[in-house]
Structure 1
Amino acid sequence: MHIAILDDDPAMREQAHQALADPWRQQNLSLKISTFSQVSEFTAAAMRDTFDLAILDWELPDGSGLNVLRWLRSYLDTPPPIIMLTVRTGEQDVVAALASGADDFVNKPFRPRELAARAMVAMRRGKNGGRERDAENNLTLGNIRFDTQRQCIYRDDHPVKLTYQEYRLAFLLFTHIGKPLARSYLYDYVWGRDERFSSRTLDVHIYRLRQKLGLTPDHGWRVNAIYGYGYRLQEALESEA
């Protein structure tokens, strides 16, 4: 998970960072939090990285959080869930934020556990589309089925032999269908933040998944390389088959 916090108040950034980091740390889950104090820093990062959630202050020294929200919705094909964090409490402001595409609205000073809970709900809601889970916690997408407990994959009900890294990469792609994923985001999830590999490492793993899982238009899938950014898995159109 990768969360971005845009707020010009250092104390508020630290409080938000702590509020979000604690629940993940207690559950031994991996979480990366990037903080920004200026709109220009945030937008530059959003153009090269993938965020699972963006938390935006309304009043910023070089712009408005509301305008950043609108920019995310217009610039990115699949923007992350967005929470507005602000001292504004007027009904008109709440309506303006929600109408512009905000997923939630949290007032300052915020309660840490409430912010963390709202963040989890927003991210969960953003990842629910197009997936089916059965009672045994299997994840099925088209002809691909994930057994998330055993960490194995079935293609057309036949088991596919994958390495640990290949499974994690496939899981990330399939749980973000249609969403562009930055190389840095893929590296962090599959290999961990402390490991660094050449660009070729990721390309080779993508190639292997194409072969093993049939991620080609004739099998209903398409993996696109996005120049200077990363990869995106999409369902192929019937005309492409």
Structure 2
Amino acid sequence: MRVAILDDEPAELKRVEQTLRQIPNASEQPWTLHCFERGEDLLRQLRRETFDLLVLDWQLPDLSGLAILRWTREHLEAPPPAIMLTSRDAEADIVTALNSGADDYVSKPFRPNELKARVMAVLRRHGLNKAKASEVSVFNDLTFDDAELTVTRNGTPINPTEREYRLARCLFDNLARPLSREYLYERFWTHEEMVSSRPLDTHIYRLRNKLGLTADRGWQLLTIYGYGYRLESVTASNGEEEEKLA
């Protein structure tokens, strides 16, 4: 889970970060938390990176959390869920934020357990924290087995590496959603590995070939120049092989 937290008060920012860091249990992958004290800094990152959740303060000296929220709803193809966390607790403010696209509204000073519960509820509503009823998932003619980390096409094994498997599952779990290169690198590569030349591009090339992610099989793995990648079903595609992020 990749989360952006916006608050211009360092102590409050740290408190939110510490609270969210407690959510994953020991058996789960730790969340990656990115903290911002300026709205402009967060906006700059939103233009080129992917986040799974935004936690936004309203009042900042440069660009308000509400302005950030509205920008994501107007400009991002798949805006992340967002929670407003602010000292503004008037009914009119709550209504304004929710009507602007906020998924929830938490007043300061917040109670840590309540914030964690609200975060999990928002993620469940967006399908980002759903418990898997089965370890096997089927996408057209591809079958993914999460227990064995294997993929078959109509019963024929494909045998990806473990990293290729997890990268492919991430792409299929986020169908039609643009994923930034930074988002994918943080999830699947260590910092030391990222120093080597273009490991993500190499893995994307292999997945296209191994899994047959081509239009004749019902898929397009699009390159978004200057941003990252997006996997689409051909039926939902606009037919373009590549596109430029506006």
Q: TM-score, normalised by structure 2?
A: 0.88
Equivalents in 2 of 1:169, 1:197: separation in Å? 19
CA distance 1:132–1:34, shift in 2 (3 Å): closer
SS of the residue aligned with 1:166?
helix
CA distance 1:65–1:225, shift in 2 (3 Å): same
Structure 2: gaps spanning 5 or more residues: 240-246
Q: Which residue of 2 aligns with 1:189?
A: 187
Q: CA-to-partner distance for each residue in 1:76-127, whole Å, 9 max, x for gaps?
A: 1001110010112222221211111111111111111221222223223323
Q: What RMSD in Å do the two structures reach over aligned CA positions?
A: 2.2
Compute the displacement of 1:161 (Å).
Answer: 0.4
Compute the displacement of 1:158 (Å).
Answer: 2.9
Aligned residues: 237
The match for 1:170 among 168, 171, 180 is 168
The residue correspondences of 1:77-92 to structure 2 (distance < 5 A) are 77-92=77-92
Equivalents in 2 of 1:83, 1:189: separation in Å? 23
Higher mean Cα deviation, 21-30 or 157-166? 21-30
* Residue type of the alignment partner of 1:180: P
Is the CA contact (8 Å cut-off) linking 2:21 and 2:30 kept in structure 1?
A: no
Structure 1: gaps spanning 5 or more residues: none
The residue correspondences of 1:1-241 to structure 2 (distance < 5 A) are 1-24=1-24, 26-127=26-127, 135-193=133-191, 195-198=193-196, 200-237=198-235
CA distance 1:199–1:236, shift in 2 (3 Å): farther
Q: TM-score, normalised by structure 1?
A: 0.90
Is the CA contact (8 Å cut-off) linking 1:70 and 1:100 kept in structure 2?
A: yes
Q: Sequence identity of aligned pairs in percent?
A: 46
Runs ≥4 residues deviating over 6 A? none
Is the CA contact (8 Å cut-off) linking 2:4 and 2:34 kept in structure 1?
A: yes
Q: CA-to-partner distance for each residue in 1:104-163, whole Å, 9 max, x for gaps?
A: 1111111112212222232233236xx996x53322333322212222222234332000
Q: CA-to-partner distance for each residue in 1:5-33, whole Å, 9 max, x for gaps?
A: 01101111001000000122544423110
* Residue type of the alignment partner of 1:33: L
